[in-house]
Structure 1
Amino acid sequence: MVQSSQLALNIKNFFIEIGELAYFSSRFFRELFSKPFEFKELLRQCYNMGNKSLGLVLITGFIIGLVLTIQTRPTLEQFGAESWMPSMVSISIVREIGPIITALICAGRIGSGIGAELGSMRVTEQIDAMEVSGTNPFKYLVVTRVLATTLMIPILVFFGDTMALYGSFLVENLNGDVSFFLYFDKVFHAIEYSDLLPATIKTFFFGYAIGLVGCYKGYYCEKGTVGVGIAANSAVVYTSMLLFIIDFIAVFITDIFI
């Protein structure tokens, strides 16, 4: 009996949080098109989230390309299909592996950072002070960060995909003596607009989800300093789940219409 009541309470809290997140999202769009526009803060957030995450994204993408090619090559050799390696790796990385892995990395680095930063501002009453002084903290803190992640994640995915393909090329060059121009000629012949367009569009949704959930968890942080850690941790967990849901919806829609 106790377990069933606890389960019902958890389900109720889950739907309440979904409703609050939906309201938070609607408030973002209302504030997005209202003045004043915080361009300087937006540029600062873009720099912090994009430039400071670039190194991690590049290293991860490079390793993904190496590992994927090393693991796949022996299987293709059994069928004498090594020539298909550039096509297979490029399509896999561009369509799915590159965007979702990069988004998960950014969810861990950027999402948790936003949750911790806004959470600490909430518990130290800095957000309350901004409201009292007449400043709109939602527009300055939330809108700029969500917009920055929405714009920066697609760019980071592009660089991550490029490094992954370069890592794959290095393995092919060492094992099969494949030239740079031959490898990437096969890559560009394999990739079509039907591969690039859906993969690019969904990265904007990935960025939006990372910024929105991180800001939501931090903006409504509770329980003092302990709540800051909870906000950062829950931002990563919720964002990761949301990324997989968005990815599934994107793949499902793409499979139907393209």
Structure 2
Amino acid sequence: MEKIRYSLLGIFEEVGKLSSFTGRFFGAAFSRPFEWKELIRQCYEIGYKSLFLVLATGFIMGLVLTLQLRPTMIDFGASAYMPDMVSIAFVREIGPVVTALICAGKIGSGIGAELGSMKVTEQIDAMEVSGTNPFKFLVVTRVWACIIMIPLLVIAADAVGMLGSYFIESTRGEVTLALYFNRAFHAMAVGDLVPATIKTFFFGLVIGIVGCYKGYFSSKGTAGVGSAANSAVVISSLLLFLVDFIAVLAADIFYAI
């Protein structure tokens, strides 16, 4: 019983520290000076260097989803609705969630390890001594880069995923590219696009905040760096599912009203 009590206290303490760190980010995110050069560099590091992995995963997901669903759709005589179903599935859930999880593993762990290494080698302390604000330079730029780039990566994954689905459809049936994407876009409504797009910004916020938090307060030693990278992935992945659930629930309540 005592162990459970201490575990719960540890969880609440961690939540409090993460909430305080998030509040500190919002306090510094809109104040001068703005580190534009570092922000652009981080957008390149986070966005461009993750693009190939996201595109490859999205394309394979489109292939697999179509291969798995096509026999069932044929059995029900609904194979013509494959573009409709794949597009809605990708835009609503598969694209945002899978891309965010990939980014949590690649970007979140990378940020945690990088900042953790800087913490261990006392580079962050050196920045404070030299008069540079390490929080704005290291944390704010990385979180903003995640908020900006994650939605763009999700859009790219959605497009390539539908392209992968078209590839299977074109080899198994007589479907042109124009016909496939015409049906795919015709099936989507504003209610599919808006909530799915909005939640990707929160996905980016979660990945950036958690990665920076775990790295910024990493414990001393190489073991602390590894622990920061690992816990950044685990915590951000769990929070992504929580944010996704809240976003879907909020969208259902909003459209019900």
Distance in 2 separating the partners of 1:65 and 1:32: 37
2:31 matches 1:31: no
2:191 matches 1:170: no
Deviation at 1:223, TM superposition (A): 3.3
* Map 1:184-195 → 2, pairs under 5 A: 184-195=181-192
**Residue identity opposite 1:202 in structure 2:** K
Q: Which residue of 2 aligns with 1:106?
A: 103
2:101 matches 1:87: no
Q: In structure 2, which of residues 213, 228, 232 is the aligned counterpart of residue 216 of structure 1?
A: 213
Distance in 2 separating the partners of 1:116 and 1:122: 10
Residue segments in structure 1 that go unaligned for 5+ positions in a row: none
2:135 matches 1:135: no
- How many residues were matched structurally? 255
Q: Which residue of 1 aligns with 2:230?
A: 233
Deviation at 1:92, TM superposition (A): 0.4
2:62 matches 1:65: yes
TM-score between the two structures when normalised by the length of structure 2: 0.98
> Per-residue displacement from partner, 1:122-155 (whole Å, max 9, x unpaired)?
0100001111111110000000000000000000
Percentage of matched positions with identical amino acids? 63
Q: Which residue of 2 aligns with 1:41?
A: 38
TM-score between the two structures when normalised by the length of structure 1: 0.98
Name the SS for the 2:175 alignment partner: coil
**Residue identity opposite 1:38 in structure 2:** E
Identify which range, 148-157 or 173-182, moves more after superposition: 173-182
> Per-residue displacement from partner, 1:177-233 (whole Å, max 9, x unpaired)?
211111111001100111000000000000000000000000000031110000000
**Residue identity opposite 1:28 in structure 2:** F
* RMSD of Structure 2 on Structure 1 (CA): 0.6
Distance in 2 separating the partners of 1:99 and 1:195: 12
The runs of at least 4 consecutive aligned structure 1 residues that moved more than 4 Å come to none
Q: Which residue of 1 aligns with 2:19?
A: 22
Distance in 1 separating the partners of 2:81 and 2:231: 42
